[in-house]
A and B are shown apart, each in its own frame.
Chain A
Amino acid sequence: MPSPTESLHRTRLLARGALLAGFGLVMFLFEALLPRPLPWAKPGLANIATLLALYTLGPGLAVTVTVLRVLLGSLLLGTFLNPGFWLSLAGGLASAAVMALAQRYGRAMFSVVGVSLLGALAHVLAQLSLAGILIVQQIQILYLLPLLLWPALFAGGIVGIASLLLLERGVMRP
């Protein structure tokens, strides 16, 4: 039987995780409405939710927030179990895992911006490898690397800076 403070703490984590999952979902849907000059690249604003969860709630909830966003977002957009859904899930999981490791072991080295950039890199590499294995099955898919890496660098930086400013303002501070 958990103590009252512990159960309060768990309730708080649950509520904040749900809030961040909702925030990520809204960002994900908002992004789907934005016009995209480069159709294969999007800013990844939903990753702000994952980063905030990682820094204020811990790695477990960060992964949960990411998976919930991918699942619910694909259900709302009608892409559930599409090829694109699997790419999205792989990208989300890989970036969440890499960001959790970077945040855990690179605390003295990186701020959120560095962690976000590593997450963006992991996202691109995971999606490209999965697309290469499942769909294209040709090594020439590596030609897409610069087209994916350049936008990812900027998107990761912007998402990182946005998360930095939000954390600095004390979002989710108890």
Chain B
Amino acid sequence: MTHAPTRVSAPLRTADAGLQGNPALQPSLHQRLRQQLRWGDYLVAGLFGLLASASFWLPAGGGPNSRARSAQVFVNTGLQREVDLQQAQRFTVNGGLGEMTVEVAAAGVRIAVSTCPNQFCVRQGYVSRAGQMLVCVPNHVVIMLAGERQNDLDAVTY
């Protein structure tokens, strides 16, 4: 029994058979590909390209699973109010130093105005994910976003 190798398709003999001496007679890469490629090759390449393009839009939304639905506002460790984060609103909280304005918007919740000296809490901007916090130490105000803190990885390497 002799082993007969499987062929890609009908092999081009010109490359092997004595035309090596004359490069002008050898088929170009383009011609050889046109002769060898089948319709399924173009189909697979096309679908692959389509999938690669479509995957840009595939996972829309940045992790809606970890978005908090509500937040609790604490002043001097005492729960002062519960806020629904689905609903845009603005309200004031009376802290140790004075009034503070909290804003709820589509981007999350933030401290818009505070009477504290360093304004760290204002500069923190919006937070939206479960387990995150807004803290104003001078004002003794803590705003906690309800829910279990998700495993938000900063980086993965391998």
Residues of A within 8 A of B (CB): 3, 5-6, 9, 12-13, 55-56, 82-84, 87, 103, 106, 108-114, 117-118, 120-121, 131, 135-140, 142-143, 145-146, 149-150, 152-153, 156-157, 160-161, 164-165, 167-170, 172-174
Shortest distance between the CB of A138 and any CB in chain B (Å)? 7
Chain B residues lying within 8 Å of A161, measured Cβ to Cβ, are 33
Chain A residues lying within 8 Å of B3, measured Cβ to Cβ, are 9, 12-13, 174
Structural contact, A108 and B38, CB atoms closer than 8 A: yes
| Contact among B16, B38, B59, B153 for A111, CB-based, below 8 A | B38
Chain A residues lying within 8 Å of B22, measured Cβ to Cβ, are none
Report if B52 contacts A (CB, 8 A): yes
Q: Nearest chain-A residue to B152 (Cβ)?
A: A138
Task: Give the complex CA separation of A152 and B65 in angstroms.
Answer: 30
| 26 pairs, A vs B, C-beta closer than 8 Å | A6-B1, A82-B158, A103-B6, A108-B38, A111-B8, A111-B40, A113-B41, A114-B37, A114-B41, A117-B45, A117-B48, A118-B44, A120-B48, A139-B63, A140-B62, A142-B55, A143-B59, A145-B55, A145-B59, A160-B41, A164-B33, A168-B15, A170-B16, A172-B5, A174-B3, A174-B4
Shortest distance between the CB of A43 and any CB in chain B (Å)? 16
Structural contact, A149 and B52, CB atoms closer than 8 A: yes
Task: Give the complex CA separation of A143 and B1 in angstroms.
Answer: 52
For chain B residues 89-144, which have a beta carbon within 8 Å of chain A?
none
| Highest count of chain A CB atoms <10 Å: which of B15, B16, B41 | B41
Contacts A12-B3, A13-B3, A110-B38 supplied; 4 other A-B pairs, CB < 8 Å: A114-B41, A138-B151, A164-B8, A165-B29
Chain B residues lying within 8 Å of A108, measured Cβ to Cβ, are 38
| Contact among B1, B16, B40 for A9, CB-based, below 8 A | B1
For chain B residues 18-48, which have a beta carbon within 8 Å of chain A?
29, 32-33, 36-41, 43-45, 48
Structural contact, B6 and A56, CB atoms closer than 8 A: yes
List the 5 closest A-B pairs by CB distance, nearest first: A109-B40, A149-B52, A145-B55, A114-B41, A110-B40
Structural contact, B36 and A149, CB atoms closer than 8 A: no
Total of A-B residue pairs, C-beta within 8 Å = 123
Residues of B within 8 A of A (CB): 1-9, 11-12, 15-16, 29, 32-33, 36-41, 43-45, 48-49, 51-53, 55-56, 58-59, 62-63, 65, 151, 153, 156, 158
Task: Give the complex CA separation of A108 and B38 in angstroms.
Answer: 8
Task: Give the complex CA separation of A114 and B62 in angstroms.
Answer: 35
Structural contact, A131 and B37, CB atoms closer than 8 A: no
Also in contact, A150 and B52, with CB within 8 A (given A113-B41, A164-B8) = yes
Task: Give the complex CA separation of A82 and B158 in angstroms.
Answer: 8
Shortest distance between the CB of A62 and any CB in chain B (Å)? 11
| Contact among A131, A164, A174 for B158, CB-based, below 8 A | A131
Task: Give the complex CA separation of A108 and B10 in angstroms.
Answer: 12
Also in contact, A168 and B36, with CB within 8 A (given A142-B58, A143-B59, A153-B49) = yes
Also in contact, A157 and B40, with CB within 8 A (given A12-B3, A146-B55, A174-B3) = no
Task: Give the complex CA separation of A167 and B15 in angstroms.
Answer: 12
